[in-house]
Amino acid sequence: MKLLIYLSDFIIPFTVLFIVADGVLKKVSVFDEFVNGAKNGVKIVAGIMPTLVGLMVAVGIFRASGMFEVIAKIVAPLAGLIHFPKSLVPLSIVKMFSSSAATGLLLDVYKESGADSYEGQIASIMMSCTETVFYTMSVYFMAAKVKKTRWTLAGALLSTAAGMAMAVLLAR
């Protein structure tokens, strides 16, 4: 176990050192490339900032309006059929939009049911094997200027459903 701790302490500095050494050996101006990369990063952030702000505002409005709870009540009977705890339906919906908001709901699940409870275990597994589908698609597709998404949303929602199903199975 101590070996893993030592490795984790040195992996990032070693990676940086390796990249710099590789650049020097290939006679690349490492600092200039770093500065150019940082400039491009700032341009990307500036380009996606309106999308991020809009998405966060929409999630905030959606959550404050109580719409998540309405959807959760509608979906709850279906969740019961597949042995998915009804108390986790809001978490599963919020997770598709915002990971930080879902983390807040996860902490609520821990407070109410406990981290080691059945609901807590499902929620923990679900948080690690599902994605913020709508956030990811809006940000990355905008940054990459993707216009035709084809089957991305359907595939992402199917993957999310599979992740939730596996969370239930693994927690049993």
pLDDT of residue 14: 93
For the chain, give the secondary structure using H, E and C. Answer: CHHHHHHHHHHHHHHHHHHHHHHHHCCCCHHHHHHHHHHHHHHHHHHHHHHHHHHHHHHHHHHHCCHHHHHHHHHHHHHHHCCCCHHHHHHHHHHCCCHHHHHHHHHHHHHHHCCCCHHHHHHHHHHHHCCCHHHHHHHHHHHCCCCCCCCHHHHHHHHHHHHHHHHHHHHC
pLDDT in tens, 98-120: 888 888 889 989 999 999 999 99
Q: Could you tell me which residue, 158 or 7, shows the higher pLDDT?
A: 158
pLDDT in tens, 69-98: 788 788 888 887 878 888 888 888 889 888
What percent of the chain has pLDDT above 70? 99
pLDDT of residue 69: 78
Length reported for the chain: 172
Reported as a pLDDT band with limits 50, 70 and 90, residue 33 is very high
